[in-house]
Amino acid sequence: MPSHRYRPAHERVEIPELRRAWPGRRIERAPLCVPVDLRDGNQALAEPMDTPRKRRMFDLLVAMGFKEIEVGYPSSSRTDFDFVRHLATRGAVPDDVTPVVFTAARRDLIEQTFASIQGMPRAVVHLYTATAPVWRDVVLGQDRAGLHALIREAAGHIARLADAMPETALRFEFSPEVFNCTEPDFILEVCNGLTRLWDASPDRPVIHNLPATVEIATPNLYADQIEYMHRHLERRDAVILSVHPHNDRGTGVACAELAVLAGAQRVEGCLFGNGERTGNVDLVTLALNLYAQGVDPMVDFSDIDVIRRTVEECNRLPVHVRHPYGGDLVYTAFSGTHQDAISKGLAHHERVAAERGVPVGEAPWSVPYLPIDPADVGRTYEAVIRVNSQSGKGGIAHLLQAHHGLDLPKALRAEFSRVVQDATDRSGREATPEDLLRLFRAAYMAQDGPVTLGEGEGEGEGAGPAAALAAALEASGIAVEVLWQGGHPAEGGAVAYARCRVGDTSVWGAGEDTDAASASARAVLAAVNRALAGRRVDLSQG
């Protein structure tokens, strides 16, 4: 491949030298997360959202607790303009939510943007212009001085229009698009100029949003750029430093996390990472990464499946089954070693909760392979362990106990797992908890076989029904020794397990009945019949 055509990041953009502080910091509070699904995400859809879909997405974002929401690019299309007017005229924006509207640095587009927010009690007007050398030269045809003059003129027009709209509490945001590929001194010059022009103050701060519009470098370099700006921006207490990472290199979340360490206070992104090309930073992953570290994300993800379904329906794009935190299979283990560890971990978690006298959902979480408790995001434990040909005894036993109340002896678990693996290998499909119960009953509980007990047949004595049955079989010419027996209560009665030596063969059997004595006799009978007539079970049957 012609790799010589491409330059490394340090040859494409100036990375300022600084004594980095961000590597030694920890994230102890969440940044302000601002969803841009209705603007940036919407621009990336093959079928952009209409007003009903936009309203459904907006209502979801409000319900989740986002306090700033970018609601559209009103000058880009009639649909976007109409939706912003819909929000303004229907009183749809709660008092604690601030809508953000996006505009390019052109007088007519700015005026159309202000027309869209007439009547809103509060809003942020978000001005953007690409600033990187390639964009200046190839797209805009402007040198640095010319582009700076264009930005100042647009920002001044915004300030004048805001003065003429005193009924709306307005704040301003500026995005030097492709910030990460722009000269640092130019960005500082432009941003500091706007801070002064808009007369930013701590009670009316300006937002400087610094996008990694196209990822070109490792996340540490983006963090260096953000820390440089954090240190050198004027009126720092009157500036909200925001970032807008994209995901071209697949490191959008890492860029956002390191940017927060470097001084960013606000992050723009989309739910599940929708956006142009490989997408915007994924706010679901970003927020729940914080949550998994004990940091309140300040956004509610307690019903991740409803969130995912709504996003899929509004975007008409699927969320991958392996998507972090939200995919259908991200809390699911098929591997035997994983299942065994998770099963033991869940049991340990329940014991710890009981010992501390707290509900299971309040006990500190420490379960192998599960970074957070699936129940915290609305998932049930039923989907945590699923069985196929790769599964092991621990997972199979967990499902039998969780779904059907069968607590198999350890030695029987290992043997039954081979029965399941044989069945799943031959069927090529997953075994459901119902399949497992059917397989277990067919393999270990079936009463039909060469030995039957009719009325008046067989006499024997022993310490309990199982031993008495063994003695009766011995008297009938079938040598049986009960090596182990046990059981437990079950719905409708009892379940028993027995390991017997029949001749030279050691076999397991199980039985269920209305009482423990009858169940144990049935377990011995099942073991004997298994020894005398082996059976083969197929998942495709029944």
What is the per-residue pLDDT across 325-344, written as a single tens digit (0 to 9) for each? 999 999 988 888 888 899 89
Q: Which pLDDT score, from 0 to 100, does residue 362 have?
A: 95
Residue 293 is encoded by which pair of tokens? 């570290």
Q: Which pLDDT score, from 0 to 100, does residue 470 have?
A: 83
Residues 533 and 451: their CA atoms lie apart, in Å, by 10
Rounded to 5 degrees, φ, ψ at 236 are -55, -30
Contact between 488 and 494 under an 8 Å Cβ cutoff? The reply is: yes
Contact between 224 and 16 under an 8 Å Cβ cutoff? The reply is: yes
Contact between 214 and 208 under an 8 Å Cβ cutoff? The reply is: no
Q: Which pLDDT score, from 0 to 100, does residue 537 have?
A: 41
Strand ranges across the sheet with 266-269: 32-35, 266-269, 239-245, 206-212, 169-177, 122-130, 98-104, 68-72
Residues 523 and 505: their CA atoms lie apart, in Å, by 16
Pairing of strands 98-104, 122-130: parallel
Q: Which pLDDT score, from 0 to 100, does residue 30 have?
A: 98
Q: Which pLDDT score, from 0 to 100, does residue 336 have?
A: 81
Q: Which pLDDT score, from 0 to 100, does residue 382 have?
A: 73
Residues 440 and 532: their CA atoms lie apart, in Å, by 18
pTM: predicted TM-score of the whole model, two decimal places? 0.84
Q: Which pLDDT score, from 0 to 100, does residue 274 have?
A: 97
Q: Which residues of the chain, if any, have pLDDT below 50?
A: 455-457, 534-542
The continuous run of DSSP H or E covering 485 comes out as strand 480-490
Residues 15 and 273: their CA atoms lie apart, in Å, by 27
Phi-psi region of 72 (alpha: psi -120 to 50; beta: other; left: phi over 0): left
Q: Which pLDDT score, from 0 to 100, does residue 456 have?
A: 43
Residues 117 and 82: their CA atoms lie apart, in Å, by 10
Residues 307 and 64: their CA atoms lie apart, in Å, by 9
Pairing of strands 266-269, 239-245: parallel
Q: Which pLDDT score, from 0 to 100, does residue 542 have?
A: 37
